[in-house]
Amino acid sequence: MNFWNDPLRVAAEWLEGIFAGWGMDAVAAHVLVVFLGVLLLIIVLMALDVFLVWVERKVVARFQDRLGPNRLGPFGLIQPFADIIKLIIKEDTTPGDADKVVYNLAPILSMMSVLILWAVVPLAPVMLGTDLNVGALFIIAAGAIGTLSIIMAGWASNNKFAMIGGFRQVAVMVSFEIPMLTMLMIPVIFSGSMNMNVIIQAQDPVPFWVLSPLGALIFLIAAIAELGRAPFDLAEGESELVSGFNIEYSGMKFGMFYAGELLHAFTFGGFWAILFFGGYRFFGLEQVSPFLAILILIFKAMLGYWVIMWVKYTMMRIRIDQMLAFNWKFLTPLAFALLLVTALVNALLASAPAWFYTLSMILANLFTGWIALEIARSATRSERERIEGVKKPVEAHH
């Protein structure tokens, strides 16, 4: 077997052979090799996280007509490492009346909730972490750990600002999880499977964003809210909450929250690419080499991450009542309606020619989006007239 065609399998069999030659039991050798593989993936992801710190700073600097890091190393590349050293040597403080176990466990769970998502990410056709038949369901379950870590941090800090920040962020995450997970079912309907690799393979020759552009857009909006990024960054309101749920954290505990947020954004960019843009697929180039397939997936994930940054550094924060009204009165009903329409069209036209099926799906998305906008426009007009009708008698009285 050629290393370049299936590097993970070849490397694993080679290591297991070495450990067996040392007298290790075959089962123990296999477990050790799997552990080393997981450790290698975590190291790569953490190194990538350091790179994301630099990327985000340079990108936001360009958006805001600044230079960004440019002093430490070429193009400021060493700046993230200086920040890591600063966080490591900073004093590690814990509030006196905090629940110390829960307080210290929260940042660990925050980072872990992101890392375990990569267990089901197909990096290449032959490089899969865990080939689960219910990979989409695993994403839903693992994402709940991030919500838990935030409420743990807010409650255990024994700080009213942290508590309110935690409640606000969890309210946003729980609310927008519903349309996001609803849109997660659309690729499942198209592929007929919850397996992430099957979903990628099913996007041949038409990626799912073509079949459901509205679904891809709703998933992106809900994912940005799930990440707590602008315009949905309600956990950090400088004027009223200072730094929200993580206000009492210092040093590397705060660093873990920050690193988890950046890696989470990149991870959601990767899932957006997998679910709607074909993952590692790109005109057959993924068959040339698994390493090329990995580069394709990373490039698509970076594009998704760039879109998330673009939205964050362009739009202003909105009020929590406006945001929750947007979710419950518009985005969630639209997501459910789109899911029902997609399932109905798929059931009726499953045996139709590919061009007719694709065209019907696109038209169904456009029609559903147009109906939703018309309903929203009518409701907005009625609300505006109601408010103006209330104001006029008051002004006349004065």
Does any domain span residue 267? yes
Same domain, yes or no: 60 and 6:
yes
Does any domain span residue 361? yes
Average the pLDDT over 161-171 and give the result. 85
Output the CA torsion 346→347→352→353 (10° steps): 20
Same domain, yes or no: 73 and 160:
no
Confidence band, pLDDT 50/70/90 cuts, at residue 43 = very high
Average the pLDDT over 339-362 and give the result. 94
Q: What does the alpha-carbon distance between residue 10 and residue 12 come to, in Å, rounded to a whole number?
A: 6
Average the pLDDT over 348-370 and give the result. 94
Confidence check: pLDDT of 75 > 70: yes
Same domain, yes or no: 184 and 217:
yes
Q: What is the pTM of this model?
A: 0.91
Same domain, yes or no: 57 and 202:
no
Does any domain span residue 389? no
Average the pLDDT over 20-30 and give the result. 89
Confidence band, pLDDT 50/70/90 cuts, at residue 391 = low
Same domain, yes or no: 168 and 45:
no
Q: Which of 59-63, 136-140, 143-147 shows the lowest per-residue confidence on average (mean pLDDT)? A: 143-147
Same domain, yes or no: 21 and 103:
no
Beta-bridged to residue 243, according to DSSP, are none
Does any domain span residue 393? no
Confidence check: pLDDT of 137 > 90: no
Number of alpha carbons in the 13 Å side-chain half-sphere of residue 89: 5
Confidence check: pLDDT of 394 > 70: no
Q: Specify the number of domains making up the chain.
A: 2
Does any domain span residue 336? yes
User: Are 42 and 108 spatial neighbours (Cβ–Cβ below 8 Å)?
Assistant: no
Does any domain span residue 306? yes
* Residue of 360, 340, 338 lying closest to 349 (CA atoms): 360
pLDDT for 33: 92
Does any domain span residue 243? yes
Q: 318 lies in which domain range?
A: 94-372
